[in-house]
C-alpha cells in the first residue's frame, strides 16, 4: 500500500511539473545565444494595438501611459513611431509582460539565479546584477524578496533611436525585503513589514531584429519632487 501511494504521488508531481513547464514556455518568449534559447516574458504581441485606457487586471492597475504634462507629446510621438516600425506592438500586452518580467527578475536576483537573469537583462545590466550577486555570496549574505503586489505599472517615456526602441515603465509595488548574514540574522529590512516602492525600469529591443524579445537595460528610482 505504501509503495502504491508513493508511486501515485510521483505521477501527480510529474503532472504538476509538466504543467508548470508548459505554462512558463507559453507565457515567456525566447532569447538568442549559443546556449539553449531561454524564455523571455516581453515579446511582441500578434494582436491589433489596443486603446490607451486603464485596464484593471487581477485587481491591479495597468496603465498604457504615464501622464506627464512636460513630455506627453514626446511620449506619444515615440509611441507613434514605434507603432509605425512595429505594427504588432500592443501597449497593454507589453505592460502585462513587463509586470511578469518585474517579478521574475526581482525573484531571480534574490535567489542568485544567473541563468534567468541572463535571458532577461541587457549585457551591461547583467554584469552589474551578477557582480552584486557575487559580492553577496562572498559575504555569506542572503536576500529574501517577496513581491506582495504590483499596484500599478505604467508606460512613461517611449523612444526610438534608429532601430532601437526603449520604453520606460514605472512600477509601484508592495514588497518585503530582508537581508540575512551567514548566521541567518536579519541585518537589513523587516520580514514583517511591507514597503511600497516606486521603480523606473527601461526595456529595449531592436525593432528590425527577428528576435522579438525586450530586455531590461536600466533600473532607477524616480527623482524626488522638489516640493
Angstrom distance (rounded) from CA 97 to CA 27: 9
Task: Give the torsion through C-alpha atoms of 192, 200, 101, 29, to 10 deg.
Answer: 180
pTM above 0.85, yes or no: no
Angstrom distance (rounded) from CA 92 to CA 80: 15
pLDDT at 75: 55
Measured over the CA atoms of residue 104, residue 138, residue 196 and residue 146, the dihedral's sign is: positive
pLDDT at 222: 82
pLDDT at 70: 47
pLDDT at 74: 57
- 41-220 has CATH 3.40.50.980 classification: no
Q: Reduce the DSSP state of residue 20 to 3 states and report it.
A: helix
Angstrom distance (rounded) from CA 65 to CA 52: 7
pLDDT at 197: 96
Cα–Cα nearest to 60, from 98, 5, 15, 8: 98
pLDDT in tens, 166-190: 999 999 999 999 999 999 999 999 9
Angstrom distance (rounded) from CA 175 to CA 17: 27
pLDDT along the chain (227 residues), means of 10: 48 46 37 40 43 39 44 67 91 95 97 97 98 97 97 95 96 97 96 96 95 94 65
Task: Break the chain into its structural domains and give their ranges.
Answer: 1-30, 41-220
Contacts of 102 (CB under 8 A, 6+ apart): 147, 150, 153, 171, 173, 201
Amino acid at each position: 500500500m505504501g509503495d502504491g501511494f508513493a508511486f501515485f504521488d510521483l505521477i501527480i508531481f510529474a503532472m504538476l511539473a509538466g504543467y508548470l513547464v508548459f505554462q512558463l514556455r507559453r507565457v515567456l518568449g525566447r532569447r538568442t545565444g549559443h546556449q539553449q534559447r531561454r524564455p523571455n516574458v516581453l515579446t511582441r504581441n500578434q494582436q491589433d494595438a489596443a486603446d490607451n485606457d486603464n485596464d484593471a487586471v487581477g485587481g491591479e492597475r495597468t496603465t498604457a501611459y504615464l501622464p506627464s504634462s512636460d513630455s506627453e507629446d514626446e511620449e506619444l510621438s515615440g509611441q507613434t513611431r514605434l507603432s509605425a516600425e512595429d505594427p504588432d506592438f500592443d501597449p497593454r500586452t507589453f505592460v502585462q509582460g513587463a509586470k511578469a518580467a518585474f517579478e521574475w527578475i526581482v525573484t531571480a536576483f534574490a535567489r542568485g539565479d544567473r541563468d534567468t537573469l541572463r535571458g532577461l537583462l541587457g549585457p551591461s545590466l547583467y554584469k552589474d546584477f551578477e557582480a552584486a550577486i557575487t559580492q553577496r555570496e562572498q559575504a555569506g549574505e542572503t536576500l529574501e524578496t517577496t513581491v506582495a503586489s504590483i499596484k500599478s505599472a505604467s508606460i512613461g517615456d517611449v523612444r526610438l533611436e534608429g532601430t532601437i526602441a526603449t520604453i520606460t515603465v514605472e512600477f509601484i509595488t508592495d514588497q518585503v525585503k530582508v537581508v540575512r548574514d551567514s548566521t541567518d540574522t536579519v541585518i537589513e529590512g523587516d520580514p514583517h513589514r511591507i514597503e511600497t516602492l516606486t521603480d523606473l525600469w527601461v526595456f529595449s529591443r531592436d525593432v528590425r531584429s527577428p528576435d522579438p524579445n525586450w530586455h531590461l537595460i536600466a533600473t532607477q528610482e524616480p527623482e524626488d519632487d522638489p516640493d
